[in-house]
Amino acid sequence: MGWMRRVQASWRRGRLSKELDEELRFHLAMREEMNIRNGMSADESRLDAQRRFGNATLLKERAREIDMLTFLETVLQDARFAVRMLIKHPGFTAVAVAGLAIGIGVNTAVFTTYKAVMLQPLDAKDPQQLVSIYRTNLHDPSAAGFSYPDYETYRDHNQVFSGLIAAAANELALTGVDDLPTAGTTGGGVASAFGFRFPSKVAGGAEFVRVEIVSENYFSVLGVNAIRGRVFRSRDVHDLQAHPAVLISENYWQRRFRADPNLLGKTLNLNSAAFTLIGITPHDFMGTNENVPDLWLPIRLNNLVNHGSGFFHDREEICCRLYGRLAQAVTIGAAQAEMNILADQTRSLHLPHSDGSKPVTISLFPGSPFGVAQDSDQRIIMWGFRLILLAVGLVLLISCANVAGLQLARSAARQREIGVRLSLGASRLRLIRQLFTESSLLGVLAGAFALVITWWVLRMLVVQISAALPMEWGSLALHVEPDIHVFAYVFAISLLAGVLFGLAPALESSRPNLSSAIKEEGAKFGFRLGSTRLRDVLVGIQACVCLFLLVVAGLLIRGSMRLLASSPGYEIKHVVGLDVNFPESVGHSPEKEEAELRQLRDSVRRLPGVTSVTAGGPTGGLRIANITLDDTKAVSEVPAPTLYYSFVAPNYFETLSIPITLGQGFARTLPPAEVILSESAANRFWPGKNPIGRKMMLDVKGQYHGRNELIPHNAPYEVVGIAKDTRPVLPWVDSSSAYLPLPLDRWSGQPFLVRTRIGPKELIGDIGRQLISVAPNLVVYAETLEDLLTATPSFVLSRLSAIFATIVGMLGLALASVGIYGSVSYAVVRRTREMGIRMALGAKRHEVLSLILRESTRPVLAGLMAGFLVAAGASHLLRGLLFGLSTLDPVSFLGVSALFLLIALFAAYIPAKRATRVDPMVALRYE
Amino acid sequence: MARANNDILQGTLALLVLKTLQQGPMHGWGITLHIQRISNEVLRVEEGSLYPALHRMEQEGWVSAEWGSSENNRRARYYRLTAAGRRQLAAEEMQWRRLTDAVASVLAFEVSRA
């Protein structure tokens, strides 16, 4: 058979080639003889014979091509040649591979994290059978959960699920564990190096734990068992009532209790109710959550920890998320249909006119711990991720442009080699294939290194993030291994980019203009190939993108530094803020809570070094009231002017050193009620006039406030004093605010502020000791107001973006400068002859040097200008995060541009200097 | 004129070579001479096309080749028709006749009209 012979032929290649040679020689000789017989001279006859044959090599190759495996042979040949070429130019290879590897590696790492975090399934056996169940309610998109009696109805009447589970998250106060070994604290490491301070829990007192409250069949439906002890089972229901039990996660067991082997069977107090620890769930087991809870509690025992909560029996109260395991051979669609039928039937079980009696749609989605864009927190995370993806995509763009530029430069230098090949008979296609192979090899090498980079980046990310988060937030279990799908995708893109950019010069350089190529016509003065323009554009693009990233980073960093440096208008160094919490329904009545707080206040006041203790909400950005200036009627027109308000104790201003510029502080307790306005508020309502004695009404109808929160009452408030403006918590809010007096018996829910003469850190320790004796159920977080500034959302966002932009910008800068170096190197090599001539004609070395530098930095300058514009635009968009820094902050813009220019000049200088050292005579003779 | 000949020749080279070999085993040079002579110098085989074609035919199994010594005692490679080659020859010959008959019919029609 034909193909078998072909395969054989490829093995016997050598011998066949010799045979063909001999055959052709015979033919040639016979032709020669015939020519001589016909009368030609000996020479002529030989020439004629040879001419008839044409290109002997080509003939042999064409003959060989008939063998099928020639293609493979040539590919191998190309590969071997490509390897030799890469080894021969180690600089180019190193730079190109490194650049591509960084681009691919970083992108893969980010994509993998995105997939692992956002697209992870539920942590259970056979997760593809699990579905998340949502109630979509047009009125309130966040109410996607179900009530417990409804859950029972669905659980008992459905035919489509082999198991239906309910879960709810909760935070409880854990006590009774002081005698047990404690480990670790809150976030440290990289986070604090970047200026973030997390509030630290005061030792002593209770601690918050993240608890997941689950139905009894939770673990059996998910198919998970305890690694020690046992999990809850459906049949345990009565047993649990008699002997309340909890489970602990392995992560929390490790972190908090140092894997104490005797913990099983001990009693833990949650919200003052006693539970026995009966089991430990596996390491990193998250179940239906996006992180690992500390403890697991059976839903039936919820009323032990949430006193007064009736959700067990209240059909109208939403409590839980629902998940289900599909029964055999049931599709999601069928299950969804059935659930909707059931939903319709349960409507009648609800109270008339309640939310539950209205029509509702049930939707089912493949099980995922992330809600379907219900949560605004998650939406922020999604957006953050998208921005990060964009930024690393830019890095990839830079590295591709880099490789492209380098390849262009190289192809210009190889004109001669290519010309020779073409003249020897290579077809254009063959040549392009060979260049194509070189680019592919580059891509493959880069991919291999990228794997290493990805692995390293992911390791670093995972370790740092896990260490940075406070224990009270649950543990984060990030399973990020380099994902092969993502890697293949990104690798393919880089390969494509590198090849495309390599193809353009290949196509162009293989155009047969042989004579000029061989004569090195390129050495003409002021030589400009079309490819040079492309190369310049690439350099320009890199410069532009880098500048943009670095300028934005610079602006953000300076902005956040400015925030920290500027005075907010109140004392921050000697004041400690205490965030005092009673865990939800520890069981105290409001009176008992107030009594405990009063005790705490008095005992802290008596501590040495404490000047005063006050309470009051932060100014600006939290609570809004509608204002009317007519003291006779309440607010009726819309839109009424609004003002931020907060309740503060009378000694608030004194404690925080906020001066009262006009009038006096809160003094009386009888009506009319007093209000103190900030300067800008007074100016807003009574510009130029004396505001003291005037009246205003505050109304919160339609404005957000908590259920039992203190709100302004519906009577006129008289302005008794004006306080100096302070900087509000949210940056886009102005400083006009109103201070209302905080009654002495309503301190619950407000942060305590303690002014101290001694260092704040010692004070926190003293406070801790007070807590244990006075109020053991309180959970207290303490930090200085100075540190509190780093927790504001604007600061966090600003700092994080700055860090990120810096890293990415630096990477881009490194890549771009290496690209410039390579580009200029090759340009210089091409123009060696020209420079020799210039110097021979009398140009000084430094003149030649400046010529090269000028020309090579031209595209860089163009790129910088473009980058300037883009950065200016971006900075205008980001002005909210700049905290008053000018959007065209000269330090950032000029500083970064100068830095970039310097680096670019330096990168160009080295090869240029090398060029000027060339001996003019050598250059002239160089052909 | 020569070019037109070559175009036709390329399509039918295999046919001509196979027919030539029907006369008996022959080396490449001999095949060239034979075709040239019989066609009265009208058909000239390009060396560049002949040997690749011979190689292909060898791969397809229509001819087999072996080394022998030529008339003037030089080493030359002789090609001979195989059974498969004979079948191929018959097929191609029939194809060719059908083609030429068809062309002839079209041409004849023109003439009669005039």
Lowest mean pLDDT among A522-536, A608-622, A741-755, B93-107: A522-536
Q: How much of chain A, in percent, has pLDDT values that exceed 90?
A: 0
User: Is it the case that residue A254 has pLDDT exceeding 50?
Assistant: yes
pLDDT exceeds cutoff 80 at A276: yes
> Which CA distances in Å does A45 have to A24, A55, A297?
16, 17, 103
Residue A375: how many CA atoms within 13 Å on its side-chain side?
12
Q: Is the pTM of this model over 0.80?
A: no
- Kindly tell me if the per-residue pLDDT of B47 is higher than 80: no
> Do A26 and B47 make contact, defined as CB atoms within 8 angstroms?
no
Distance from CA of A45 to the nearest CA of B (A): 16
Is B77–A19 a contact, with Cβ atoms under 8 angstroms apart? yes
Q: Do B51 and A52 touch (CB under 8 A)?
A: no
Cβ distance of A27 and B29 shorter than 8 Å: yes
**Chain B residues lying within 8 Å of A52, measured CB to CB:** 46-47
B41 versus B48: the higher-pLDDT residue is B41
Q: Could you give the CA distance from residue A538 to residue A639 in angstroms, rounded to a whole number?
A: 54
pLDDT of residue A703: 61
Q: For position A518, what pLDDT does the model report?
A: 47
Q: Kindly tell me if the per-residue pLDDT of A334 is higher than 90.
A: no
List CB contacts (< 8 A) between A55 and chain B.
Answer: 48
Task: Give the pLDDT confidence score for residue B85 in this predicted structure.
Answer: 92
pLDDT number for residue A525: 38
> Under DSSP, is residue A537 helix (H, G, I), strand (E, B) or coil?
helix
Collect all residues with Cβ–Cβ distance below 8 Å to A297 and sequence separation of at least 6.
A170, A211, A212, A213, A214, A246, A270, A275, A305
8 Å CB contact between A100 and A375: no
- Chain B positions touching A24 (Cβ under 8 A) are 51
> Which residues have C-beta within 8 Å of that of residue B8, sequence separation ≥ 6?
none
Chain B CB contacts of A29 below 8 Å: 74
ipTM above 0.90, yes or no: no
Q: Does residue A739 surpass a pLDDT of 90?
A: no
How many contacts, defined by CB atoms under 8 Å, are there between A and B? 63
Most distant pair of Cα atoms in chain B: their distance: 59
Residue-averaged pLDDT of chain A: 75
Mean pLDDT over A597-621 rounds to: 76
Strands (E), A767-824: 779-784
C-alpha distance from B99 to closest chain A C-alpha (Å): 27
Backbone dihedral region for residue A526 (phi beyond 0: left; psi -120 to 50: alpha; all else: beta): left
C-alpha closest to that of A264 among A281, A284, A286, A283: A281
Instruction: Name the phi and psi angles at A327, rounded to 5.
Output: -70, 170
CB contact under 8 A, B56 and A19: no
Average pLDDT over residues A697-718: 71
Mean pLDDT within B106-111: 80
Q: Say which residue, B18 or B70, is predicted with more confidence.
A: B18
- The pLDDT of A463-491, averaged and rounded, is 65
Residue B19 has pLDDT above 90, yes or no: yes
Measured CB to CB, residues of chain A less than 8 Å from chain B are 1-2, 5-6, 9, 19-20, 22-24, 26-27, 29-31, 52-55, 58-59, 62-63, 65-67
Range with lowest mean pLDDT among A223-237, A392-406, A793-807, A872-886: A793-807
Average pLDDT, stretch B67-95? 90
pLDDT of residue A317: 75
Number of H helices, E strands in chain A: 29, 23
Query: Which residue is associated with the tokens 């503060």?
Result: A648
Contact B59/A30, CB-based, under 8 Å?
no
Calculate the average pLDDT of chain B: 84
Beta partners for A722?
A: A662, A677
pLDDT for residue A411 is more than 60: yes
B55, B62, B67, B75: best mutation site toward chain A, by most A Cβ within 10 Å?
B55
Q: Which residues of B touch A6 (CB under 8 A)?
A: 59
pLDDT at A526: 38
3-state secondary structure at position A644: strand
Question: Cα–Cα distances in Å, from A639 out to A623, A636, A700, A734?
Answer: 17, 9, 13, 18
Note the pLDDT of residue B21.
Answer: 93
**If you average pLDDT over residues A831-846, what whole number do you get?**
79
Is residue B60 scored above 90 in pLDDT? Answer: no
Question: Tell me: the pLDDT tens digits for A584-594?
Answer: 545 567 777 78
Closest Cα partner for B43 from B81, B88, B78, B13? Answer: B13
Is the pLDDT reported for residue A288 higher than 60? yes
Nearest by CB to B59, from A5, A29, A31: name it: A5
First to last CA, chain A: 53
**Alpha carbon A128 to its chain's center:** 27
Closest C-alpha among A581, A917, A550 to residue A779: A581
Convert the pLDDT of each residue in A51-94 to its tens digit: 777 766 777 776 666 665 667 777 888 888 888 888 888 877 88
The average pLDDT across A527-543 equals 67
* Distances in whole angstroms, Cα of residue A660 to Cα of each of A672, A712, A717: 20, 22, 18
Confidence of residue B69 (pLDDT cuts 50, 70, 90): confident
- Cross-chain Cβ contact B59/A66 below 8 Å: yes
Residue at A531: amino acid letter: S
Q: Who wins on pLDDT, B10 or B28?
A: B28
Distance (Å, rounded) from C-alpha A679 to C-alpha A738? 10
Which residues, 6 or more positions from A865, have their beta carbon under 8 angstroms from its beta carbon?
none
**Pick from A221, A285, A223, A224: nearest CA to A253:** A285
- In angstroms, the first-to-last Cα distance of chain B is 27
For A10-60, the pLDDT digits (tens) are 666 677 778 888 888 888 888 888 888 888 787 887 787 777 777 667 777
Q: Which two tokens stand for residue A49?
A: 């014979």
Q: Is the pLDDT confidence value at A310 over 60?
A: yes
> Looking at per-residue confidence, does A94 or A136 come out higher?
A94
Higher local confidence (pLDDT), A309 or A32: A32
What tokens were used for A807?
A: 């890293």
A43-52: list long-range contacts, CB under 8 Å, 24+ apart: A52/B46, A52/B47
pLDDT attached to residue B3: 43
d(CA A251, CA A294): 7
pLDDT 10s digits, A851-890: 888 887 888 888 888 988 988 888 887 776 677 777 788 8
Highest mean pLDDT among A400-414, B25-39, B48-62: B25-39
Question: Considering CB atoms only, which of A30, A53, A66 is closest to B48?
Answer: A53
Instruction: For residue B56, give how far its alpha carbon lies from the nearest alpha carbon of chain A (Å).
Output: 6
For chain B, what's the residue count? 114
Residue reference for tokens 């123009």: A831
pLDDT (average), residues A477-497? 71
Could B51 and A1 be called an inter-chain contact, meaning their C-beta atoms sit closer than 8 Å?
no
Predicted local confidence at residue B114, as pLDDT = 52
pLDDT of B4: 45
CA distance A64 to chain B (A): 8
A185 pLDDT tier (thresholds 50, 70, 90): very low
Q: Out of A122-126, A718-722, B12-16, pick the least confident.
A: A122-126
Of B48, B61, B76, the CB nearest to A59: B48
| Neighbour tally for A377: CB within 10 Å | 9
pLDDT at A512: 53
Average of per-residue pLDDT across A822-843:
75
Q: Does the structure show a pLDDT above 50 at A184?
A: no
